[in-house]
Amino acid sequence: MTRTGSPAPTLVEVARLAGVSRATASRAVRGGERVSPEARAAVEAAVREIGYRPNQAARSLVTRRTDSIAVVIPESDSTLFTDPFFATVLHGVTTALSSTDLQIVLLVGQPGERAARMVNYLRAGHADGAIVVSHHRMDNVVEALAESAVPAVLIGRPWDASLPLTWVDVDNAGGGRLAAEHLLARGARRPATVAGPADMAAGRDRLAGWAEVVAAAGLATDAVEHTDWTADAAAAATGRLLDDHPDVDGLFVASDLMAEAAMEVLRGRGIAVPDRVRVVGFDDMGLAARTRPPLTTVVNPAPAMSRRAVEMLLAQLEGTGGTESVQFPTALVVRGSS
């Protein structure tokens, strides 16, 4: 039974209905010990009958829990709201938490002052744990977490593999290899890449996988432009790449959003895709099927990684494990751009 138009049910009412003392009702609601199974059952039945909800502020004082999880994204607002990767990750996290009472606190900021504020927020205990997405080598977030007692899981492995942090990631180097193998199999002899940020493990690993295959084929690996994850930066990088290497005939781009921008540059220069330049992206989160032509791309299993990150963090919070890092395999989806 729930009530409308009247004061919220109190713990005293729960105790009276259950036939126990207020102290016993309080311990039962908090899940504490020293409560008999009969008393606990009576309190739980009373809670359901009158619709009692514990005062979260008071509960936090007792349990030292905030019932919130911080999702930390050390990127600019423009990157967060334009790259489908982040929307996919956030949807995966919220879906995985939907069956819990935990709330999400979103912390966004570029490296520097705002990143320092995010670290201070976490250290102050304003969230029970953190999921960190898209961290850079110099943003200091992961280093600060490694030195703290805050439970955390990274989506994307840290730059420094020695840090005692748990992470979940896709096989970025394997994805780079798949892209290069596909381009070479389709006849590319002057492959190039618009690589991701050089200060991120994902950018470094995708480039390394691509370069490994290209070098093994006896081809040059010098046609490389690093940039951030934005479309504008990718377009500028593609322009520089074509200016320096006009004979490029195969292009691996580190994300689908970037690849779409790269194909716009190619189209603007009268370079046909795939007739003259074959293009491969990385992500496969919906955008790839809508580009012109549809984009061949490497699968980035962000929904599955997000769910696993939440499971790992919840296990850490409950003290039941969740400290083993996980790497997901990937695959290539072939479409019209190659």
**CATH no. for residue 18?**
1.10.260.40
Compute the average pLDDT of residues 221-230: 96
Spatial neighbors of 318 by CB under 8 A, at least 6 apart, are none
Q: Are residues 186 and 250 in the same domain?
A: yes
Q: Are residues 180 and 282 in the same domain?
A: yes
Q: What is the pLDDT of residue 55?
A: 55
- Has residue 79 been placed in a domain? yes
Asked whether residue 308 is domain-assigned, the answer is yes
Neighbouring C-beta atoms of residue 243, cutoff 10 Å: 8
Band of residue 95 on the pLDDT scale cut at 50, 70, 90? very high
Predicted confidence band of residue 163 (pLDDT cuts 50, 70, 90):
confident
Confidence of residue 211 (pLDDT cuts 50, 70, 90): very high
Domain-located, residue 230: yes
Q: Is residue 1 part of a domain?
A: no
- Tell me, yes or no, whether 210 and 292 share the same domain: yes
Same domain, 35 and 107: no
Residue 73, domain CATH? 3.40.50.2300
Is the domain of 135 the same as that of 189? no
Q: Are residues 55 and 88 in the same domain?
A: no
When mean pLDDT is compared across 143-147, 179-183, 291-295, 308-312, the lowest value belongs to 143-147
Q: How many domains does the chain have?
A: 3
Average pLDDT over residues 229-254: 97
Residue 57: pLDDT band with limits 50, 70, 90:
very low
**Are 243 and 284 within one domain?**
yes
Least trusted range by pLDDT, from 29-38, 231-240, 323-332? 29-38
Same domain, 46 and 192: no
Distances (CA, A) of 173 to 47, 176, 178, 234, 335: 53, 5, 9, 20, 21
- Per-residue pLDDT band at 30 (split at 50, 70, 90): low
Domain-located, residue 131: yes
DSSP, residue by residue, 265-294: HHHHTT--TTTT-EEEEEE-SSGGGGSSSP
Please report the pLDDT score of residue 133 as a whole number.
Answer: 94
pLDDT of residue 2: 45
Q: Is 78 helix (H, G, I), strand (E, B) or coil?
A: helix
In a domain, 76, yes or no: yes
Same domain? For 137 and 282 the reply is no
Range of the domain at 184: 172-301
Chain-wide mean pLDDT for the chain?
89
pLDDT of 291 > 90? The answer is yes
Same domain, 104 and 222: no
